[in-house]
Amino acid sequence: MFDFSDVTTPLHAFLSRLLGESLAVVTECVLVAVALISIYAVFAMIMIYAERKVCAAFQCRIGPDRVGKWGWLQVISDVLKMMTKEVINLRQTDRFLHRIAPFLVVTASMTTFACLPWNKGAQIIDFNVGVFFFLAVGSVGVVGILLAGWSSNNKYSLIGAMRSGAQIISYELSIGMVMLTMICLTGTMSFSEICQQQADLGWNIFRGHIIALPAFIIYLIAGNAECNRGPFDLPESESELTAGYHTEYSGMDFGYYYLAEYLNIVVCAGIAATIFLGGWAPFVVPGLDGFNEVMSMIPGFVWFVGKTFFVIGLLLWQRWTFPRLRIDQILTLEWKYLIPISMTLLIGMALLVSFGLTF
Amino acid sequence: MEQQGYFAGLMGGIKSLCTGLKVTMREFWTPKITERYPENRKTNKMFERFRGQLILPHNELNEHKCVGCGICQMVCPNDTIVIKSEMREGEDGKKRKVLVEHVYDHGRCMYCMLCVTSCPHGALAFDNEFEYAVFDRTKLVKQLNHPGSKVQPKK
Amino acid sequence: MEENEKSICPETPQPQPVQEEKKETAPTDKSTSQPTAAPTPKPAAPRPTPPPASPAKNEIKPEVVTPEELHERLAHLKAEGYSLLENLTGTDWGEEGMGVVYSLTNPETFDMTHVKVIAADKETPYLDSVTDLWDIANFYEREVYDFYGIIFLNHPDLRRLFLREDWVGHPFRKNGYEESNNPEIAETDEPISDLAVKYTLTPDGKLHKEETPLFAEEDYVINLGPQHPSTHGVLHFRTRLEGEIITKIDPHLGYIHRGIEKISEELTYPQTLALTDRMDYLGAMQNRHALCMCIEQALGVEVSDRVQVIRTIMDELQRIDSHLLFFSCLCQDLGATTSFLYGFRDREKVLDIFEETCGGRLILNYNMIGGLAYDIHPNFQRRVKEFIPMMRKNLKEYDDIFTGNVIFQNRSKGVGILSKEQVISFGCTGGTGRASGWHNDLRKHRPYAAYDRVEFKEVVRTEGDSFARYMIRLDEIRESLHIIEQLIDNIPEGKIAEKMKPVLKLPVGSYYSAVEGSRGILGVHIESKGDKMPYRLHYRATGLPLVAVMDTACTGYMIADLIAIGGTIDYVVPDIDR
């Protein structure tokens, strides 16, 4: 199995020798940041393209196919368009908050993105309370959304932002609860350890079996709601609130919301892949040694990205099937269904673990 | 709304959602219905009755059937058609009204067919052309009779 | 099927005239229905046009009342059972003065009676308002006020309905209106007043104007529209919110008002047809059918059996088209974009059928006075027969993906409930009325064209909520398919157009005909002074009552429900802003 620390350790040693310890760390930080941002951008583009094509296929359409072969240049031209468009500052807005809000959203999404374990040893933010950190940073995004709604001085925006606040804060509960269920199984909050454990013992979704599967589904629902994605896209529900909290944004400021929305899906799917589907751990079947060997040959990041896209596929599938919920239905779903079920799951998992019924 | 039990409602809901997912998954694999327009330009054929733009059909001798009576101009609800005609002496020595210009403002036309149906000589028709976007509105004002054309002699 | 074949067979005496006769048996002694014209078997030769003196089938002879008696008489008629204000036509009779024709209908038997009133004062005419009798009178009277300047006393909110508030004059007046007072293209923002205007008569006979604010200073009012994704056109709802709950809606109309009725007064009868397709573009066939029928009946022209059957098929195809668009747009409004495209995919098939036969997809121009523009295309029957099973299959798909969906069900059941009394008072015909348990299908109650010889169910539900309105439409697609199925193989031979005179002049009189449009009763009211142009042509738009009811239907529900309610009530803006 390819270990990314095989690359980083010699690099670190080389840089330390060249620049001294402290400068080396600074250089590494810059390198990592550049890598992170470029991966982030690449993933955003892939996501936008994938969403368009997949949604088109569900809708009996072809999707973008004019710019470049199969329309693969479409996203690039869109990004160029977005970047060159004027950022309009409206007179009645709260200028400072209005400008800062998209950055909060994009920062939150980028920081959570940094939590993803790409490969063995290839993790940017990793420490013993990684899950906790992920949850904490992820909720900064809602501040950005609320600020956007408030500072826009637009009634639609305000309603959208308020809906978003109610929705995200509620769904964080069940996300936390589901994660707790899985932590109960793994016994650690560090993403790298969770992955390592799954590489050694098998994927959590198999280990936790009857509890982990519903937990996975709840995670997908709640994660989807956290991303403000359909059918939970009420904060921006275009048929009611035109564009909700980002009605008054234009140009790249709007682009940040757009970017953050797509990346949040990647993050949501990536965390689902990490916690339930083994992260970078290959698919192994005990006893089939030949098969397992072939599987282990495939590098970890391929596994991780593959699983992430599988989960993204599930999310897209349901997003392009269901009608949007109403705000009271969203809260009913959370408080009357998801929370009680996830609590039951937590207790169930605790029982499984204490009786040793996990694999 | 009838009050269902908590679990019955939950299960019913999940079932309905799964039915929906099944439908979209099936459609995911069905052939797509998009028409690739500029590519299929050659094969794409409009229905023969499609009303594209008004024309004054000419035969191979550059003759049309319009005698310049002006009925089409009169029946048009939108003042789309302007006929310019003059009295000319024909070969037989009789003075006849002759069409000089049949001007059609495509930008005003609302395709109601009144000109075509009311024309006593069947001189007008709609063609199947649909790519008529232009950059300048004045280009939509067209002269329908070809230069040098004349009336088809009665048989 | 066999029965149908028999009845469609051209040898059998055609039951049509009898049916037509039934339509106008208004119980008042003013009833003008022709003494049953013996149902003559259809001859192939063109029948001579009856002398203009004989009253046409659809001629109305309204009972004339004085302005003082008006309110009392209408209240009396309402108590007698004429509790639907089907139509209200303002007219300027020139020398006689300005006035209004009220067309009342019994919502059970669909008998009609008409009351005409002429205001005494010619400069500032005023009449009593009947808003206390019918809710829909509110909008109808505002329309008349807007166009004719007739003031309705005690009307709670007599603002202009369609024109801008800074408009000078009342354009439908035959004299005294100066067009140059208004700019050709308005370049200023439209002022929207927050004041409801009420006129009362002081004891000394003077008009007293009083203004009350529509919204309070601290109200949270959001503007849904004029540019909004789910108002289905350029329509503006000023919506007062309490959190997410709607407490009041004030529709603001007229953004795309083209004055079709006014334009029609300067067009010959065949020319007026061109505008009908542009009113309710999802009911183009039916609109034109209504106008053609009105003119034909006024002229005493009988169209051939073939035309009747083809018109029926086309009307039903149009209904399917309209309901498919309804389904699609509702899905889109509720966020189910995929089902939206499924609906459009199937609608495309209907449009192809239309295009092949009529030459247009949306603007069809198919019906003509006295017949049809073309015969059906040779492929028409084949295409329709292919379409029917495909549509049935896809309706199943709609049920799977959308109707049964728990999210949709929760969003639509019990939302926007309208009672039967409310829909009648608001005159909400069509699917919206039928969802509240009101049997109002004109195809059943005043059959026209070939509807009396096909077998179909009038789809009625009793819940009155959004889900019922939605289901009505889907079930109506099934019924329409059923109707088409019965007729498509039995199109009788015959002429596709009667020979009409080059210049059509309607005999002097008032005429009213109505058809069941895609979303309710579509009526045409013609006042003729014997010219080749109508003196007054008024459409009973299906959409206006549907928008008028929005305030009642949405109050107390959430802003997301407004979308669902608006979607299921199914108004089309060009129909409202004629």
Structure confidence by residue, pLDDT tens digits, C553-572: 888 888 888 888 888 888 88
Residues 6+ apart with CB under 8 A from C304: C42, C371, C494, C495, C496, C498
Q: Is residue A228 part of a domain?
A: yes
Q: How many CB atoms lie within 10 A of CB C507?
A: 19
Tell me the mean pLDDT in the region B24-34. 82
A61 part of contact set with chain B, CB < 8 Å: yes
Question: Closest residue of B to C375, CA-based?
Answer: B49
Q: Is C143 exposed, middle or buried (0-12, 13-18, 19+ CB in 10 A)?
A: buried
Mutate to test the interface with B, among C401, C417, C463 (most CBs of B within 10 A): C401
Mutate to test the interface with A, among B14, B27, B36, B39 (most CBs of A within 10 A): B27
Q: In Å, how far are C74, C80, C104, C131, C172 from C137, measured between CA atoms?
A: 12, 18, 12, 5, 19
* A240–C559 C-beta distance less than 8 A: yes
Distance separating alpha carbons of residues A170 and A139, to the nearest angstrom? 11
* A62 interaction partners in chain B (CB closer than 8 Å): 32, 34, 36
Q: What CATH number is attached to the domain comprising C101?
A: 3.30.460.80
More confident residue, B2 or A97: A97
CA A230 to chain centre: 15
Bridge partner residues of C270 (DSSP) = none
Q: Is residue C316 part of a domain?
A: yes
Mutate to test the interface with C, among A51, A54, A221, A240 (most CBs of C within 10 A): A240
Q: Domain of residue B86: give its range.
A: 54-151
Q: Is residue B112 part of a domain?
A: yes
Tell me the mean pLDDT in the region C180-196. 81
Same domain, residue pair C319 and C437: yes
Query: Crossing angle of helices A21-58/A5-19, nearest 10°?
Result: 140
* A61–B32 C-beta distance less than 8 A: yes
Distance separating alpha carbons of residues C27 and A25, to the nearest angstrom? 97
Specify the pairing of strand C63-65 against strand B95-105. unpaired
* A61 interaction partners in chain B (CB closer than 8 Å): 32-34
Q: In Å, how far are B4, C10, C144, C167, C536 from C180, measured between CA atoms?
A: 65, 57, 21, 11, 22
- What is the pLDDT, as a whole number, of residue C6? 39
- What is the pLDDT, as a whole number, of residue B71? 85
Per-residue pLDDT tens digits for B71-95: 888 888 888 888 888 877 767 777 7
Buried-state track C54-83, b at ≥16 Cβ within 10 A, e below 16: ebbbbbbebbebebeebbebbeebbeeebb
Is residue B149 predicted with pLDDT exceeding 80? no
Partner-chain residue, chosen from A60, A65, A317, that has the shortest CB–CB distance to B21: A317
- What is the pLDDT, as a whole number, of residue A238? 67
* B47–C338 C-beta distance less than 8 A: no
Q: What CATH number is attached to the domain comprising C313?
A: 1.10.645.10
- What is the pLDDT, as a whole number, of residue C3? 41
Looking from the CA of C397 toward its CB, the CA atoms found within 13 Å total 24
Tell me the mean pLDDT in the region C424-453. 87
Partner-chain residue, chosen from A60, A317, A321, that has the shortest CB–CB distance to B32: A60
SS3 state of residue C527: strand
Is residue C161 predicted with pLDDT exceeding 60? yes
Q: Is residue A221 part of a domain?
A: yes
Most confident of A12-16, B64-68, C486-490: C486-490
The model's confidence at residue C21, banded by pLDDT at 50, 70 and 90, is: very low
Q: Are C158 and C131 in contact (CB under 8 A)?
A: no
- Alpha-carbon radius of gyration of chain A: 21
* A58 interaction partners in chain C (CB closer than 8 Å): 338
* C345–B20 C-beta distance less than 8 A: no
- The count of structural domains within chain C is 3
- Alpha-carbon radius of gyration of chain C: 23
Q: Is residue B113 part of a domain?
A: yes
* B33–A57 C-beta distance less than 8 A: no
Tell me the mean pLDDT in the region A160-183. 87
Same domain, residue pair C159 and C285: no
Query: Crossing angle of helices A21-58/A95-114, nearest 10°?
Result: 100
Same domain, residue pair C380 and C267: yes
The candidate with the shortest Cα–Cα distance to C108, out of C569, C432, C546, C446, is: C446
* B32 interaction partners in chain A (CB closer than 8 Å): 56-57, 60-62
Mutate to test the interface with A, among C239, C240, C334 (most CBs of A within 10 A): C334
Partner-chain residue, chosen from B28, B34, B36, that has the shortest CB–CB distance to A58: B28
Partner-chain residue, chosen from C355, C373, C401, that has the shortest CB–CB distance to B117: C373
Same domain, residue pair C239 and C370: no
* A57 interaction partners in chain B (CB closer than 8 Å): 28, 32
B36 part of contact set with chain A, CB < 8 Å: yes
Distance separating alpha carbons of residues A210 and A232, to the nearest angstrom? 27
φ, ψ of residue C354 to 5 degrees: the values are -60, -45
Q: Is residue C50 part of a domain?
A: no
Q: Are C549 and C568 in contact (CB under 8 A)?
A: no
Mean pLDDT of chain C: 82
- The count of structural domains within chain B is 1
B18 part of contact set with chain A, CB < 8 Å: no
* B33 interaction partners in chain C (CB closer than 8 Å): 345, 348
Q: Domain of residue A167: give its range.
A: 93-354
Is residue A36 predicted with pLDDT exceeding 60? yes
Same domain, residue pair C516 and C550: yes
At CB < 8 Å, which residues of chain C contact B? 267-268, 270-275, 278, 338, 342, 345, 348, 352, 355-360, 363, 365, 368, 373-374, 377, 397, 400-402, 404-407, 409-410, 413-414, 502
- The count of structural domains within chain A is 1
B10 part of contact set with chain A, CB < 8 Å: yes
Distance separating alpha carbons of residues A167 and A187, to the nearest angstrom? 29
* C406–B12 C-beta distance less than 8 A: yes
SS3 state of residue C227: coil
Is residue C232 predicted with pLDDT exceeding 70? yes
SS3 state of residue B50: coil
Tell me the mean pLDDT in the region C262-284. 86
Q: Are B137 and B107 in contact (CB under 8 A)?
A: yes
Q: Is residue A23 part of a domain?
A: no
B122 part of contact set with chain C, CB < 8 Å: no
Mutate to test the interface with A, among C232, C237, C239, C244 (most CBs of A within 10 A): C244
Mean pLDDT of chain A: 83
Same domain, residue pair C153 and C287: no
Amino acid residing at B121: H
Is residue C466 predicted with pLDDT exceeding 70? yes
Same domain, residue pair C234 and C313: no
- What is the pLDDT, as a whole number, of residue C266? 86
The model's confidence at residue C44, banded by pLDDT at 50, 70 and 90, is: very low
Lowest mean pLDDT among A258-262, B86-90, C14-18, C494-498: C14-18
Distance separating alpha carbons of residues A79 and A77, to the nearest angstrom? 5
Tell me the mean pLDDT in the region A120-135. 79
Partner-chain residue, chosen from C356, C357, C404, that has the shortest CB–CB distance to B19: C404
Q: Are C497 and C307 in contact (CB under 8 A)?
A: yes
Same domain, residue pair C155 and C286: no
Lowest mean pLDDT among A32-36, A285-289, C176-180, C343-347: A285-289
Residues 6+ apart with CB under 8 A from C269: C295, C369, C504, C506, C532, C533, C534
Is residue C438 predicted with pLDDT exceeding 60? yes
Q: Are C285 and C367 in contact (CB under 8 A)?
A: yes
Q: Are A12 and A127 in contact (CB under 8 A)?
A: no
A17 part of contact set with chain B, CB < 8 Å: no
Q: Is residue A230 part of a domain?
A: yes
Is residue B20 predicted with pLDDT exceeding 70? yes
Chain B: touching chains (3 or more CB pairs < 8 Å): A, C
Same domain, residue pair C516 and C448: yes
- What is the pLDDT, as a whole number, of residue A2? 67
* C336–A323 C-beta distance less than 8 A: yes
Q: Is C209 exposed, middle or buried (0-12, 13-18, 19+ CB in 10 A)?
A: exposed
Distance separating alpha carbons of residues C293 and A13, to the nearest angstrom? 92
Q: Is residue C5 part of a domain?
A: no
More confident residue, C52 or A352: A352
Same domain, residue pair C127 and C151: yes
Is residue B136 predicted with pLDDT exceeding 60? yes
Placement of tokens 């955003």 in the chain? A44
Partner-chain residue, chosen from C335, C401, C402, that has the shortest CB–CB distance to A237: C335
Q: Is residue A297 part of a domain?
A: yes
A2 part of contact set with chain C, CB < 8 Å: no
Distance to chain C for A324, nearest Cα, Å = 5
The model's confidence at residue B4, banded by pLDDT at 50, 70 and 90, is: low
Per-residue pLDDT tens digits for A186-215: 888 888 888 888 877 778 777 777 888 888
- What is the pLDDT, as a whole number, of residue C55? 63
Question: Closest residue of B to C411, CA-based?
Answer: B1
Same domain, residue pair C238 and C123: no
- Whether the predicted interface score ipTM is above 0.90: no
Placement of tokens 């549907």 in the chain? C546
Question: Closest residue of C to A326, CA-based?
Answer: C560
Is the previous residue joined to C226 through a cis bond, with omega within 30 degrees of 0? yes
* C359–B17 C-beta distance less than 8 A: no
Q: How many CB atoms lie within 10 A of CB A306?
A: 14
- What is the pLDDT, as a whole number, of residue B155? 60
- What is the pLDDT, as a whole number, of residue C50? 46
Per-residue pLDDT tens digits for A207-243: 777 888 888 888 988 888 888 877 888 777 666 777 7
Partner-chain residue, chosen from A59, A156, A231, that has the shortest CB–CB distance to C335: A231
CA B154 to chain centre: 29
Same domain, residue pair C445 and C397: yes
Interface of A with B in 295-354 (CB under 8 A): 317-318, 320-322, 337
* C338–B17 C-beta distance less than 8 A: no
Is residue B140 predicted with pLDDT exceeding 60? yes
Q: Is residue A341 part of a domain?
A: yes
Q: Is C483 exposed, middle or buried (0-12, 13-18, 19+ CB in 10 A)?
A: buried
The candidate with the shortest Cα–Cα distance to C459, out of C431, C483, C426, is: C431
φ, ψ of residue B142 to 5 degrees: the values are -125, 150
Q: Is C493 exposed, middle or buried (0-12, 13-18, 19+ CB in 10 A)?
A: exposed
Tell me the mean pLDDT in the region B126-138. 86
- What is the pLDDT, as a whole number, of residue C27? 41
Q: Domain of residue C533: give its range.
A: 260-491+502-570
* A321–B21 C-beta distance less than 8 A: yes
* A62–B36 C-beta distance less than 8 A: yes
Q: Are C422 and C436 in contact (CB under 8 A)?
A: yes
φ, ψ of residue C116 to 5 degrees: the values are -120, 140
* C355–B49 C-beta distance less than 8 A: yes
B111 part of contact set with chain C, CB < 8 Å: yes
- What is the pLDDT, as a whole number, of residue C25? 38
Q: Are A338 and A218 in contact (CB under 8 A)?
A: yes
Q: Is residue B92 part of a domain?
A: yes
Q: Is residue B21 part of a domain?
A: no
